Amino acid sequence: MIDQVPMLSVLHAEGPASDIKSKMMLYGQFVGSWEGRVVVHAPDGSRGEAGCEVHFGWVLEGRAVQDVWIAPSRSERQDSKISPRGSLYGTTLRVYDPQNDRWHITWINPGTQSFDSMIGRKVGEDIVQEYLKEDGTRCQWCFTEITANSFHWLSRESKDNGKTWNILNEFFMRRVASD
């Protein structure tokens, strides 16, 4: 299939670039397909939940990792009462910066008109991606509880520079396929 679509064939890579292979594995460990549940935490304390899926792959000569996050999952989308503007169907491009030993990350969700740029790093056993909103709110997207076949991902924000955090979304994922 990829070979039949020129754009996909030039975007796709077989694996990480050899000169930075070990650094690429921070996100490269996720290459493959995942499924699970997303929990959305509303400001009023209520919660919503849906099935979700995430697909990671090597791109751009193995110098980047790209993914697609989908919630509700494709199998639940037709029956979902969530509008396209409230659903998740977006992509992240992650590029390693060897000069500064960090990752430049861009998230795009056309349905919700979300466009976020952040910096990612390993912090202890976790991966933390961080950016500031225009109003000064500190935002973090974190991969935690990472194993070969599962991870917990959460987004949180702090209005007091990290003294307290409000969790917005959580993904509980399990691997279904490796590349």
Domains of the chain: 2-178 (2.40.128.20)
Q: Which residue has the higher pLDDT, 82 or 91?
A: 91
- pLDDT for residue 2 is more than 80: no
Q: What is the pLDDT of residue 177?
A: 77
Q: How many CA atoms lie within 13 A of 139 on its CB side?
A: 15
pLDDT tens by residue, 34-79: 999 999 898 888 888 899 999 999 999 999 999 999 998 888 877 6
| C-alpha span between 79 and 77 (Å, rounded) | 6
| C-alpha span between 148 and 171 (Å, rounded) | 16
Residue showing tokens 């929990």: 39
Percent of residues in the chain assigned helix, strand, coil, to nearest 5: 15, 55, 30
Q: What is the pLDDT of residue 87?
A: 81
- pLDDT for residue 14 is more than 60: yes
Q: Residues 79, 73: contact at Cβ < 8 Å?
A: no
What are the structure tokens assigned to 6, written together?
């020129």
- pLDDT for residue 118 is more than 60: yes
Dihedral sign, CA of 116, 125, 16, 171? negative
Q: Which residue has the higher pLDDT, 179 or 76?
A: 76
Q: Report DSSP state, residue 45.
A: S
- pLDDT for residue 82 is more than 60: no
pLDDT tens by residue, 121-178: 999 999 999 999 999 999 999 999 999 999 999 999 999 999 999 999 999 999 997 7
Q: What is the pLDDT of residue 147?
A: 98
Q: What is the pLDDT of residue 59?
A: 98
| C-alpha span between 157 and 26 (Å, rounded) | 23
Give the pLDDT band of residue 95 (cuts 50, 70, 90): very high
Q: What is the pLDDT of residue 130?
A: 98
